[in-house]
């Protein structure tokens, strides 16, 4: 591994995974997603792990996809079978997964957090889907999961405006379950994880599966539609111009989508 993912077992039966690319606000490059998927595959097969907490180092949970990757490789990054397989590993993880969000959770970062079963946030968290600002729209589940989490009106506003919401608004909308101070975020996530990990692994898997069956009714078809619908804006000249302008403005700074 490149070191973009850190693994730690701070408590019995609990695994803490930290996105460790702080200089890029934990932007989700192909390598980062691949390493995260590999860590979750291993956790899935480890009977000593009952619950996983996912967080990010530095000022962000994750500021989203690596725009430099997307601009350089085009749709090959987004539609790569390997990348899609890695995202599926994350979304299909069978054990309880908690996202502990501090700072930015934007674009793919917010989509990643929404794949967790429980999301708690620090009081400095910002959640958003700003892809529209660079000529595309959420393509890693954002158009499907966000509406289920916050309802049509709020999801439409976030996706079509590209503007983020703060932790208080996210709590009121139902996107997250708790707000804590930043210095308490990991501690609180581990408390929840410890409580969960004490329970029967068989019961936990079955309970999670049953809840997701209700939550995701129709989601697979929606995700397939989203993926195909993304091709047209992704291949448009305007998208290329907007991404180039974004990179020119930010230099080597990480993405916001």
What does the pLDDT look like over 170-197, one tens digit per residue? 999 999 999 999 999 999 999 999 999 9
Report the pLDDT value the prediction gives residue 72, as an integer from 0 to 100.
78
Give 128's Cβ-side CA count (13 Å radius): 21
Element housing 157 (H / E):
helix 152-161
187 among known catalytic residues: no
Above 60 in pLDDT, residue 252? no
pLDDT score for 101: 99
Tell me what pLDDT residue 60 has: 98
pLDDT at residue 257 is higher than 80:
no
Annotation says 65 is catalytic: yes
Q: Which helix (H) or strand (E) holds 83?
A: helix 81-91
Beta bridge partners of 122: 180
| All domains in the chain, ordered by first residue | 5-182+200-250 (3.90.226.10)
The helix-helix angle for 142-150 and 152-161 (nearest 10°) equals: 140
Catalytic residue, chosen from 39, 43, 63, 65, is 65
Active-site position among 111, 113, 135, 149: 111
Lowest mean pLDDT, pick from 142-156, 224-238, 240-254: 240-254
Write the pLDDT tens digit of every residue in 69-121: 888 777 777 788 999 999 999 999 999 999 999 999 999 999 999 999 999 99
Q: Which residues contact 216 (CB under 8 A, 6 or more apart)?
A: none
d(CA 14, CA 100): 14
The contacts of residue 68 (CB under 8 Å, 6+ apart) are 247, 255
The encoded tokens of residue 196 equal 């969960």
Closest CA to 62 of 119, 21, 2: 21
Kindly name the residue from 27, 63, 131, 149 that is annotated as catalytic. Answer: 131
Catalytic residue check, 226: no
Active site residue 222: no
Query: Of the residues 50, 103, 108, 128, which is catalytic?
Result: 108
Q: How confident is the model at residue 222 (pLDDT cuts 50, 70, 90)?
A: confident
Which of 96-110, 133-147, 178-192, 204-218 has the least mean pLDDT?
A: 204-218
Which segments within the chain are labelled E, that is strand? 5-11, 14-19, 51-56, 60-62, 97-101, 104-106, 118-122, 126-128, 165-166, 178-180
């Amino acid at each position: 591994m490149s070191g973009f993912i850190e693994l730690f077992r701070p408590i019995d039966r609990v695994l803490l995974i930290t996105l460790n690319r702080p200089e890029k606000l934990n932007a989700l490059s192909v390598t980062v997603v691949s390493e995260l998927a590999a860590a979750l595959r291993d956790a899935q097969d480890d009977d000593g792990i009952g619950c996983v907490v996912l967080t990010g180092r530095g000022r962000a949970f994750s500021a989203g996809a690596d725009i430099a990757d997307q601009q350089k490789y085009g749709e090959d990054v987004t539609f790569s079978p390997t990348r899609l397989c890695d995202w599926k590993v994350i979304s299909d993880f069978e054990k309880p997964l908690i996202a502990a969000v501090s700072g930015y959770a934007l674009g793919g970062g917010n989509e990643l957090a929404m794949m967790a079963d429980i999301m708690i946030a620090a009081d400095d968290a910002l959640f958003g889907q700003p892809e529209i600002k660079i000529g595309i729209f959420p393509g890693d589940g954002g158009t499907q999961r966000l509406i289920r989490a916050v309802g049509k009106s709020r999801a439409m506003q976030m996706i079509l405006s590209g503007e983020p919401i703060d932790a208080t608004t996210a709590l009121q909308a139902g996107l997250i379950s708790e707000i804590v101070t930043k210095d308490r975020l990991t501690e609180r996530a581990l408390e929840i994880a410890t409580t969960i990990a004490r329970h029967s692994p068989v019961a936990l898997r079955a309970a999670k599966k049953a809840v997701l069956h209700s939550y995701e009714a129709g989601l697979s078809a929606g995700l397939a539609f989203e993926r195909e619908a993304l091709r047209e804006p992704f291949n448009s000249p305007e998208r290329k111009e907007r991404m180039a302008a974004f990179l020119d403005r930010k230099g080597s700074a990480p993405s916001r989508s």
